[in-house]
């Protein structure tokens, strides 16, 4: 069974609003994809302008070329403005990733099955892992640069949204299990640092990681990858 269901674009053009119309959010499960959902219109425009500048720097120089000073120069603002908006470099890089996280969340809520609604829970869980693996691999440099210390990373709204999605699917498949804990274990398989190590250091093809995810879901849930 193929799970080519979500192919994010590399550093897509950032919208003028932090919450573009028509992109559903996972608010139903209690978390927002962005930790600044109520910005004034002018603040939202300034934030989008800064992220656009940061995106250009990533495209031209890689994530290593993104500093608070460089973004300030590229956006023609004072360095203090960048710090006030994002706190630090990690906050800035994480905000860049949040845009494509929203795209993924939109696919989870309203995209075609099996990633979106309408497919059996096991198929949705398999498709979810494959989508996240490809999303992470496509922007691995940015993912690694944006990773803060574990506590901050795991508490970030985007991680909590995706982990909650996995928890919901597991509760349908294995309601007797500690689904919240198992969801965190499964999310560990999708950690960008592990993906980097396996694909770069161990030279494993991404297809092997995708097959491993599908096998792992089958073993955790006791489902057949062909019949669901």
Which residue ranges make up each domain of the chain? Answer: 28-33+90-221
Query: Per-residue pLDDT averaged across 40-50, rounded?
Result: 84
Q: In angstroms, rounded to a whole number, what is the distance separating the alpha carbons of residues 57 and 133?
A: 24
pLDDT of residue 74: 94
Alpha helices in the chain (DSSP H): 41-61, 68-75, 79-86, 89-110, 121-138, 140-146, 150-155, 157-173, 179-189, 192-196, 206-221
Q: In angstroms, rounded to a whole number, what is the distance separating the alpha carbons of residues 85 and 49?
A: 11
Percent of the chain with pLDDT over 70: 82
Return the CATH superfamily for domain 28-33+90-221.
Tetracycline Repressor, domain 2 (1.10.357.10)
Residue 200 per-residue DSSP state: I
pLDDT of residue 156: 83
Higher pLDDT among residues 154 and 164, named by residue: 164
Percent of the chain with pLDDT over 90: 55
pLDDT of residue 31: 36
pLDDT of residue 121: 97
Is the model's pLDDT at 28 over the cut of 50?
no
Q: In angstroms, rounded to a whole number, what is the distance separating the alpha carbons of residues 139 and 16?
A: 22
Query: Per-residue pLDDT averaged across 186-192, rounded?
Result: 96
pLDDT of residue 18: 34
Tokens of 17: 């609003």
Q: What is the largest CA-CA distance in the chain?
A: 57
Higher pLDDT among residues 98 and 123, named by residue: 123
Q: In angstroms, rounded to a whole number, what is the distance separating the alpha carbons of residues 83 and 69?
A: 10
Contact 206, 133 (CB under 8 A): yes
Confidence tier at 63 by pLDDT (50, 70, 90): confident
Tokens of 82: 């960048």
Q: CB count, 10 Å around CB of 72?
A: 18
Residues in the chain: 228
Least confident of 106-115, 137-146, 172-181, 185-194: 137-146
pLDDT of residue 94: 87
pLDDT tens for 167-180 read 999 999 999 999 99
| Closest to 71 (Cα-Cα) out of 84, 54, 92, 88 | 54
DSSP result, 114-137: TTSTTS-HHHHHHHHHHHHHHHHH
Tokens of 81: 């403005």
pLDDT of residue 146: 85
pLDDT of residue 228: 58
pLDDT tens for 115-136 read 999 999 999 999 999 999 999 9
Contact 97, 139 (CB under 8 A): yes
Higher pLDDT among residues 154 and 122, named by residue: 122
- Cα–Cα distances (Å) from 217 to 36, 56, 121, 224, in that order, read 34, 37, 11, 9
pLDDT of residue 39: 60
Q: CB count, 10 Å around CB of 69?
A: 10
Tokens of 7: 């192919």
Least confident of 73-87, 118-132, 139-153, 208-222: 139-153
pLDDT tens for 3-14 read 544 555 444 443
Confidence tier at 19 by pLDDT (50, 70, 90): very low
């Amino acid at each position: 069974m193929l799970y080519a269901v979500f192919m994010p674009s590399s550093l897509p053009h950032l919208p003028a609003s932090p919450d573009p119309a028509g992109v559903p959010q996972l608010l139903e499960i209690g978390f927002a994809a962005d930790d600044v959902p109520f910005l004034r219109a002018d603040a939202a425009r300034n934030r989008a302008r800064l992220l656009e500048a940061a995106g250009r720097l990533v495209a031209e120089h890689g994530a290593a070329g993104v500093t608070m000073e460089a973004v300030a120069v590229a956006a023609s603002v004072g360095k203090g403005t960048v710090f006030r908006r994002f706190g630090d470099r990690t906050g800035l890089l994480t905000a860049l990733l949040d845009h494509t996280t929203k795209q993924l969340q939109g696919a989870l809520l309203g995209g075609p099955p099996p990633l979106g609604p309408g497919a059996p829970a096991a198929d949705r869980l398999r498709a979810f892992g494959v989508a996240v693996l490809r999303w992470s691999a496509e922007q691995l440099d940015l993912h690694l640069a944006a990773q803060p210390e574990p506590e901050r990373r795991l508490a970030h709204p985007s991680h909590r949204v995706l982990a909650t999605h996995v928890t919901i699917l597991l509760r349908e498949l294995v309601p007797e299990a500690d689904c919240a804990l198992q969801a965190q274990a499964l999310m560990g398989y999708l950690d960008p640092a592990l993906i980097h190590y396996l694909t770069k250091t161990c030279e494993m093809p991404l297809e092997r990681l995708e097959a491993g995810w599908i096998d792992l879901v089958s073993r955790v849930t006791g489902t057949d990858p062909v019949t669901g």
